Amino acid sequence: MTDPTTLPAATLAAAIASGELTSTAAVEAALARIAALDGELKAFITVCGGQALEEARRADRDRAAGRLRGPLHGAPVAIKDNTLTAGIRTTFGSRAYAHHVPDSDDACVAKLRAAGAIVIGKTNTPEFAFGALCTNAIQGPTANPYDRRFASGGSSGGSAVAVAARMVPLAQGTDFGGSVRTPASFCGVVGLRPTPGRIPAAPKRFAWNSMSVHGILARDATDAALMLEAMSGAEPGDPLSIGMDRWRADSLDQFETVRPRVAWSLDLAFATVHAEVAAVFGQAIDAMRRLDIELAAAAPDANGAQHAFETLRAGQLHATYAELCERHRDLLSPSFLWNVDRGRVLDASEYLAAEAERSRLYERFVRFFRDHDLLATVSAAVPPFPNTQENVTEVAGVPMANIIDYLRVTYLITLVGFPSVSIPCGFTPSGLPIGMQLVARPCEETLLLAFARRLERELGFRHRPPSDPVK
Per the annotation, the verdict on 155 as an active-site residue is yes
The domain ranges of the chain are 4-459
Which class would CATH give 4-459? alpha beta
Q: Which among 156, 179, 335, 379 is annotated as catalytic?
A: 179
State the pLDDT at residue 258: 87
According to the model, what pLDDT value does residue 1 have?
A: 64
Tell me: the pLDDT tens digits for 124-141? 999 999 999 999 999 999
Q: How far apart are CA 204 and CA 320, in angstroms?
A: 10
Pairing of strands 420-427, 118-123: unpaired
- What residues of the chain score a pLDDT lower than 50? none
pLDDT at 2: 87
- Is this structure's pTM higher than 0.85? yes
Which residues does 464 contact at the CB level (< 8 Å), separation at least 6?
Answer: 188, 424, 427
Evaluate whether 70 touches 116 at the Cβ level (below 8 Å): yes
Task: Strand 261-264: give its sheet, edge to edge.
Answer: 44-47, 118-123, 76-80, 170-175, 213-218, 190-193, 420-427, 433-440, 374-378, 261-264, 294-297
Cα of 229 vs its chain's centroid, Å: 16
CA 177 – CA 416 distance, rounded (Å): 11
User: Measuring CA to CA, how many Å separate 454 from each of 12, 239, 450?
Assistant: 22, 33, 6
Q: pLDDT per residue over 148-177, tens digit each?
A: 999 999 999 999 999 999 999 999 999 999
Nearest to 76 by CA among 4, 175, 125: 4
Q: Which of 464, 461, 437 is nearest to 448 (CA)?
A: 437
Q: What pLDDT is recorded for position 198?
A: 98
Q: Tell me which H or E stretch contains 328.
A: helix 305-328
CA-CA distance, 312 to 356, in Å (whole number)? 11
Active site residue 251: no
Q: pLDDT value at position 55?
A: 98
Helix (H) or strand (E) holding 150: strand 147-151
- φ and ψ at 230, to 5 degrees? -65, -35
Active site residue 42: no
What pLDDT score does 468 carry? 93
C-alpha triplet 150, 408, 308: angle, nearest 5°: 140
d(CA 146, CA 56): 30
Q: Tell me 146's DSSP state.
A: T
pLDDT value, residue 303? 98
The one catalytic residue among 23, 42, 80, 420: 80
Specify the pLDDT at position 28: 98
Q: Is 292 helix (H, G, I), strand (E, B) or coil?
A: coil
- Output the DSSP codes for 23-59: HHHHHHHHHHHHHHHHHHH--EEEE-HHHHHHHHHHH
What is the widest separation between alpha-carbon atoms in the chain?
A: 63
* Residue partners of 345: CB distance under 8 A and separation at least 6: none
Could you tell me where the DSSP H helices lie in 65-178? 107-114, 157-164
Helix (H, G, I), strand (E, B) or coil at 110: helix
Instruction: Answer whether 41's CB lies under 8 Å from 145's CB.
Output: yes
- Catalytic-labelled residue, pool 23, 152, 155, 232: 155
Q: Quote the strand ranges of 252-315, DSSP E.
A: 261-264, 294-297
